[in-house]
Homo-oligomer: A and B are copies of this chain.
Amino acid sequence: MYPLFLKASAEKQRNIINAALHEFSKHSYDAASTNNIVKEAGISKGILFHYFGNKKNLYLYVYEYVLDTYTEAIFDALNLEERDIFKRFTQMVSMQMNLLQQNPAFFNFLNMTTIERSVAVATELEQISNTKQDYSYEKFSFGIDYSLFKEGINVEYALNILRWINEGIAHRYEQQFKDAFNDFDEFNKLLNRCAEEMEDYFRFIKPLLYTE
């Protein structure tokens, strides 16, 4: 893909990706500044364009990188022998918390891409999203044991509701995550509280969906 970039040292690549993630998670594509990115990455403007040619390539590269990293993290975290959907969710929540701890901009960036409206990248964004996003969801729900559900339960509805609970809680914590970003202990406490709350809701809804 971008051989010049891939030839650079791992640390440099990481710096650039993190700086881009940070900028693109704070601003829309149009409003994001390559000047800010190079400043934060500690590189010159020239080398960035040497690597990626233009802003758009950089943006789409970061998007693919994030989706791939996310998918890979799911692969790592998921124990496919666990066929209980609630345990699966617990696994995924802990995976997401780890990712968030490693790089808070990660999910902010993903959120931004879902509301991105710039015509300059809209079509490519949707294209990449379609090819990659569904895959990780499929992976997540592979091999689920549907017989654990009460008879007559619409499993598709049940799974969607679980996801929306997850997203709803995450969304509620978002601002707090941002505020606590620089306080390591506080940030970890928040992560735990958030995961705990998700667990609470799962405990609440599980007996409603599962047979005794």
A interface residues with partner B (beta carbon < 8 Å): 26-28, 30-31, 111, 115, 117, 154, 157, 160-161, 163-165, 167-168, 200-201, 204-205, 208-209
Please name 24 pairs of A and B residues whose Cβ atoms are closer than 8 Å in the assembled complex, sorted by A: A26-B117, A27-B28, A28-B28, A30-B31, A111-B115, A115-B115, A154-B204, A157-B201, A157-B204, A157-B205, A160-B168, A160-B201, A161-B161, A161-B164, A161-B165, A161-B201, A161-B205, A163-B168, A164-B164, A164-B165, A164-B168, A168-B168, A208-B208, A208-B209
Complex Cα spacing A205 to B167, Å: 18
Complex Cα spacing A89 to B127, Å: 35
- List chain B residues, Cβ under 8 A from A204: 154, 157
Query: What's the least CB distance linking A88 to chain B, in Å?
Result: 19
- List chain B residues, Cβ under 8 A from A164: 161, 164-165, 167-168
Q: How many copies of this chain sit in the oligomeric assembly?
A: 2
- List chain B residues, Cβ under 8 A from A111: 115
Query: What's the least CB distance linking A180 to chain B, in Å?
Result: 15
- Choose one: B31, B161, B205; the contact of A31 (CB below 8 Å): B31
Query: What's the least CB distance linking A87 to chain B, in Å?
Result: 20
Complex Cα spacing A26 to B30, Å: 12
Query: What's the least CB distance linking A157 to chain B, in Å?
Result: 5
Complex Cα spacing A160 to B204, Å: 12
Complex Cα spacing A201 to B159, Å: 12
- List chain B residues, Cβ under 8 A from A30: 31
Complex Cα spacing A168 to B161, Å: 8
Complex Cα spacing A157 to B208, Å: 13
Query: What's the least CB distance linking A55 to chain B, in Å?
Result: 15
- List chain B residues, Cβ under 8 A from A28: 27-28, 31
Query: What's the least CB distance linking A208 to chain B, in Å?
Result: 4
Give me 15 other A-B pairs in contact (C-beta within 8 A), A157-B200, A161-B165, A164-B164 excluded. Answer: A27-B28, A28-B31, A115-B115, A154-B204, A157-B204, A157-B205, A160-B201, A161-B161, A161-B164, A161-B201, A163-B168, A164-B165, A164-B167, A164-B168, A167-B168
